[in-house]
Amino acid sequence: MQPVATTFFFYFLSGLTLASGVLVITRKNPVHSALALIFGLLAQAGLYLMLYAPFVAGVQIILYAGGIMVLFLFVIMLVNLERSQKEEQFNKQWLVGIVAAAALGVLFVLVYMKGADLFPVRMTLPTESNNTQEIGVMLYGQYMFAFEIASLLLLVAIIGAVVMAKKRI
């Protein structure tokens, strides 16, 4: 499969992801934030496709955009108060928060500058026809233990969520 217009698609998709990130943290209405996050997740699935990870992209669309965000929208509809939108949106320590995040960003930049010779610039094009099969082999072979623990974790999460959302235990 020939890659077409890689540069344009990368800048478009990553721009969409970052713009959605900005919208998530700045919107007053949580439904608008959830909508922006959905678009960001879909753009990220596109980025995974560009990185030759089609299975992870499919899982992202099904689970994240189609499952977790539906859960978020349900809860937003349940707890949405008009009052919460008229209050202050940012808390008192917003400046300290932004300074801390900026320091983190500077740390990232330093790390990337120092370690830039670790990653090759030109990446080879892998075959993607059996990506799903190889992930399956790894998941059920090498990472079998982690797989079973993840299923146990999901069971615990289901029981916990059901118990906590009940009116009377």
Partner 1 sequence: MAPIGTLHYLVTAASLFVLGVIGVLTRRNVVIVLMSIELILNAVNLNLVAFSRIWGLHGQVFAIFVITDAAAEAAVGLGILIAFFRNRETVNVDEVDLLKW
Partner 2 sequence: MLDYVTSYLSSNTTPGQAGNVLWVLIYILVVFGAVSVAVMAMNWLERKALAHFQIRLGPMRVGPHGLLQPIADAIKLLTKEDIVPAEADKFVFWIAPLIILCASFTVYIVVPFGPTHAITDLNIGILFMLGVSSLSVLGVVMAGWASNSHYPLIGALRSSAQMVSYEVAMGMTVVSAVLMTSLNKTGTGTLSMIGIVQAQQSQQIWFLFKFFPLGLIAFAIFAIAMVAETNRAPFDLPEAESELTAGFHTEYSGLRWSLFMLGEYAAMIAVSSIAVTLWLGGWLRPFPNTLTGGAWDLVFSLVPGLLFIALAVIAFVGVVRMPKHPYFRIQTIGLAGFGAVLGLIGLILFAPPVRDRIQDIFWFTAKVAGFMYLYIWYRATFPRYRFDQLMKVGWKVLLPIAIGVLILTAVLGVLL
CA atoms of 169 and 163, how far apart (whole Å): 7
CB 1 within 8 A of CB 52: no
Which of partner 1, partner 2, none sits in contact with 1, Cβ below 5 to 8 A by type? partner 2
DSSP 3: -
Answer yes or no whether residue 17 interacts with partner 2 by CB under 8 A: no
Among partner 1, partner 2, none, residue 150 binds (CB under 5-8 Å by kind): partner 1
| DSSP-assigned states of every residue in 93-150 | THHHHHHHHHHHHHHHHHHHHHTGGGS-SSPP----TTHHHHHHHHHHTTTHHHHHHH
Q: Does residue 131 touch partner 2 according to CB under 8 A?
A: yes
Smallest separation, CB 163 to partner 2 (Å): 18
Tell whether residue 69 is a contact of partner 2 (CB under 8 A). Answer: yes
Residue 125 to residue 54: CA distance in whole angstroms: 14
**6 sits near partner 1 (criterion: CB under 8 A):** yes
Q: How far apart are CA 57 and CA 63, in angstroms?
A: 10
**36, 23 in Cβ contact below 8 A?**
yes
Indicate whether 9 belongs to the interface with partner 2 (CB under 8 A): no
Give the shortest CB-19-to-partner 2 separation in angstroms. 15
- Does position 153 interact with partner 1 (CB under 8 A)? The reply is yes
Least CB distance to partner 2 at residue 127 (A): 10
68 binds partner 2 per the rule CB under 8 A: no
* Contacts to partner 2 by CB under 8 A: 1-4, 29, 31-32, 35, 38, 54-55, 57-59, 61-62, 65-67, 69-70, 73-74, 77, 128-133
